[in-house]
Every structure is written in C-alpha cells, then in structure tokens.
Amino acid sequence: MKNTLADLNNYLFESLERILDDNITADQLDIEIKRSEAVTSVARTIISNSSLALSAMKHAEEYNIGNVQERRKLPAMLDSGDA
C-alpha cells in the first residue's frame, strides 16, 4: 500500500468484494468479517486524521498563517502524488 486515501478506498472495496464472494465458506466469511471490522476501525482513524489535516490547511489559508506556497500545498496524506 502506498498510504494514500485512494489506496485505502481501494483496500476497503477489496475487503467488501471478499465478503460478498459467493464462493466463500462460512468459516472464511467469519474471518473476513472480523478482519474487515479491524480494517474499518483503522480506516475511520485515518480518515479522521486526514480530515483534521485538511481542516488545519483551510484555517491556515483563511487566517494567512505561514507562507503562500506551504498553505496551498495539500498535506502529504491527502496528496495522491499524481500532480
């Protein structure tokens, strides 16, 4: 994983696909559900942290804190690296 929100989104959808697989056994499904609950818990924390970083960036821009280039630069955790 490259540790971007896009990667997290893909991982969550992969987890959903495994849970919805018609060929999965009951035991495998139980394991997958437990795994997805753990991943979902961590994902919530990552998303909350990213939201906080974005909010801080918006406030820095609004209150003119720091230099212009740094204020307009997305926090690394929100940057997809595609630019």
Structure confidence by residue, pLDDT tens digits, 4-21: 888 899 999 999 999 999
Q: How many CA atoms, within 13 angstroms, populate the side-chain half-sphere of residue 43? A: 16
First to last CA, the chain: 19
Q: Identify the DSSP state of 75.
A: P
Predicted confidence band of residue 74 (pLDDT cuts 50, 70, 90): low
**What was the pLDDT predicted at 46?**
93
Q: Supply 57's token pair.
A: 């960036």
Predicted confidence band of residue 49 (pLDDT cuts 50, 70, 90): very high
Q: Which of 60, 42, 56 is nearest to 3 (CA)?
A: 42
